[in-house]
Amino acid sequence: MYEFLDRLVAVALPRIRDFRGINEKGFDGKGNYTLGIPEQIIFPEINMDQVTKINGMDITFVTSAKTDKECLALLKEFGLPFKNQK
């Protein structure tokens, strides 16, 4: 899990076109977060020659946090780049 999270933050997310951070609206109210990825080809492990159709995916972070605020703090500490929303 930590290896996937590290690759997601350090390699995959920066490969998204016009990436400016992930949205803070993906929390479910119970301390979990879901992130939508538009293309699976942002992961370098995927061979572009074998891809016949571009698919997206949802990644859900299930935490033991009781609130969304606690979950946000945890995910920020893990290095997820959230947008600066005011």
Q: What digits encode the pLDDT tens for the residues 24-54?
A: 999 999 999 999 998 888 888 888 888 889 8
Contact by Cβ (8 Å): 16, 42:
yes
User: Residue 69 — pLDDT band, cuts 50, 70, 90?
Assistant: very high
The model's pTM is 0.82
| 3-class SS string, the chain | CHHHHHHHHHHHHHHCCCCCCECHHHECCCCEEEEEECCHHHCCCCCHHHCCCCCCEEEEEECCCCCHHHHHHHHHHHCCCECCCC
Q: What digits encode the pLDDT tens for the residues 7-22?
A: 999 988 888 888 889 9
